[in-house]
Amino acid sequence: MNFASDNVYGVHPAIMQAMADANSGTQSSYGSDEFTARAERQLCDIFEREVDVYLVLTGTAANSLCLSAMVPPYGGVVCHSEAHIMVDECGAPELFTGGAKLIGIPDPAGKLTTVSITRVLDGFIRGEHDPKPKAVSITQATELGTVYNLDEIRAIADLAHGRGLRLHMDGARFTNALVSLGCTPAEMTWKAGVDALSFGCTKNGAMMLEAVIFFGRSLSEDFIHRRMRSAQLLSKGRYLGAQMNAYLDNDLWLDNARHANAIAAYLAGKLEMTGKVSLPLPAQANEVFPIMPRGLYEHLQAAGAVFHEWPGEGPGTEGLIEGNMFVRFVCSYMTTKDQCDALVAEVEKWNGRA
């Protein structure tokens, strides 16, 4: 019953096998191998246009490097106050941009709105005494498991571009959001106005694989040097390319995300039926955020369930009744209904004692 993260489970067997297959023979180094070339072509096909692709090892590197190409050291990045770049990356975006300021907005449900972005941008009235806003960053799916719909992305992109800003998408759970919306990768990114994407694969079955994807050549100028300087250019790059190929082949990436999302929806429904938890947020991707009594939390932990109290806030969590907790369950491509049923059985067991 491990619902701590979609990082706790191993690599999908097809991806592990692809890495083993790539291990024989020789290949050119530093991303010049045939596996990486094929991966880059696949991503161009998936996004329905020529894109510039740079494979890296971690999501933090993808976000930080991507933003470094979009924002100067004196610039600012508007993001959600609970965004990964804001609270989970130990200042890496500021380091890689050379000091750009992150400007967090505490919007509800983890999603930025055009109203709040406008209000923040209108507050920059001090000229050179302020950082200069240069980018907006949105997370898809968000840190609270919610998903921006296409109209919301377009509206934020139009606002950003109208103010001379670029739009970055942190897609750590990109595919979970994609299958939730039932749209194409192109529709959720460049067709909606996204300029650059951190394309996440690790949470969805890869070993160590993310990609920085630029939808315009102007942003990728000199990016090969940024990646090298950040120690993200893997000498044996074939292993990143092999992972990406297996990830995309036969729609594995989509199947993995569909399973994780479906299991999260199943878990959310089962938990709500117990009557002992409330769900202030919809389970739109692969995460479930219930409010539960502390006694139930402690019972589940003692029974072997692994999940976390969540420090963020969502609708309905303001002024939690004393003794209640806001928690997070994450489902992965390996999470099963049996695991969910075992968790719910423990809720029912505690329900009988409470």
pLDDT tens column, 65-117? 999 999 999 999 999 999 999 999 999 999 999 999 999 999 889 999 999 99
Question: In b/e form, how buried is each residue of 156-188, taking b as 16+ CB within 10 angstroms?
Answer: bbebbeebebbbbbbbbbbbbbbbbbebebbbb
Give the per-residue pLDDT at 264.
98
Residues 160 and 211 occupy one common structural domain: yes
147 vs 167: CA distance, rounded Å: 16
Q: How far is CA 220 from CA 39, 77, 88, 125, 225, in A?
A: 18, 18, 25, 31, 10
Residues 264 and 130 occupy one common structural domain: no
Q: Quick one: what percent of the chain has pLDDT higher than 70?
A: 96
**CB atoms closer than 10 angstroms to residue 70:** 23
Give the per-residue pLDDT at 347.
95
Pick from 252, 286, 308: which residue ends a domain? Answer: 252
152 lies in some domain: yes
Residues 229 and 263 occupy one common structural domain: no
Residue numbers of the domain that contains 327: 254-353
Decide: helix, strand or coil at residue 133.
strand
Tens of pLDDT, residues 24-39: 999 999 999 999 999 9
**Would you say residue 276 has pLDDT above 60?**
yes
62 lies in some domain: yes
Pairing of strands 166-171, 132-139: parallel
Mean pLDDT confidence for 333-351? 94
Give the per-residue pLDDT at 352.
62
Residues 258 and 238 occupy one common structural domain: no
**Would you say residue 322 has pLDDT above 80?**
no
134 vs 168: CA distance, rounded Å: 11
**127 confidence band (pLDDT: 50, 70, 90):** confident
266 lies in some domain: yes
Token reading at 254: 């989509």
Residue type, 248: L
Q: Quick one: what percent of the chain has pLDDT higher than 90?
A: 90
Residues 201 and 220 occupy one common structural domain: yes
Q: Which of 199, 213, 170, 173 is nearest to 333 (CA)?
A: 173
At a CB cut-off of 8 Å and minimum separation 6, what does 293 contact?
276, 323, 324, 325, 354
Residues 174 and 198 occupy one common structural domain: yes
Residues 185 and 298 occupy one common structural domain: no
Residues 45 and 188 occupy one common structural domain: yes
1 lies in some domain: no
Pairing of strands 287-288, 324-330: antiparallel
Residues 286 and 328 occupy one common structural domain: yes
CATH of the domain at 302: 3.90.1150.10
CATH of the domain at 135: 3.40.640.10
At a CB cut-off of 8 Å and minimum separation 6, what does 167 contact?
135, 136, 137, 138, 156, 157, 160, 161, 193, 194, 195, 196
Residues 229 and 266 occupy one common structural domain: no
**Bridge partners, residue 329, by sequence:** 288
Residues 122 and 192 occupy one common structural domain: yes
Give the per-residue pLDDT at 341.
97
What single-letter DSSP state applies at residue 2?
B
7 lies in some domain: no
Maximum separation of any 2 CA atoms in the chain, in Å:
63
110 lies in some domain: yes
3 lies in some domain: no
**309 confidence band (pLDDT: 50, 70, 90):** very high
Tens of pLDDT, residues 232-248: 999 999 999 999 999 99
203 vs 189: CA distance, rounded Å: 19
**Would you say residue 319 has pLDDT above 60?**
no
Spell out the alpha helix ranges (H) of 166-214. 174-181, 185-188
Residues 65 and 23 occupy one common structural domain: yes
Helix (H) or strand (E) holding 143: none
Tens of pLDDT, residues 174-219: 999 999 999 999 999 999 999 999 999 999 999 999 999 999 888 9
**Would you say residue 329 has pLDDT above 70?**
yes
| Mean of the per-residue pLDDT values of the chain | 95
Pick from 199, 226, 252: which residue ends a domain? Answer: 252
Mean pLDDT confidence for 305-332? 82
Give the per-residue pLDDT at 317.
62
4 lies in some domain: no
**Would you say residue 323 has pLDDT above 90?**
no
**Would you say residue 320 has pLDDT above 70?**
no
Q: Name the percent of the chain in helix, strand, coil, to the closest 5.
A: 45, 15, 40
Mean pLDDT confidence for 286-294? 95
**Would you say residue 23 has pLDDT above 70?**
yes
Give the per-residue pLDDT at 129.
80
Give the per-residue pLDDT at 108.
85
Give the per-residue pLDDT at 128.
87
354 vs 352: CA distance, rounded Å: 6
Please give the tally of structural domains in the chain: 2
Pick from 199, 218, 252: which residue ends a domain? Answer: 252
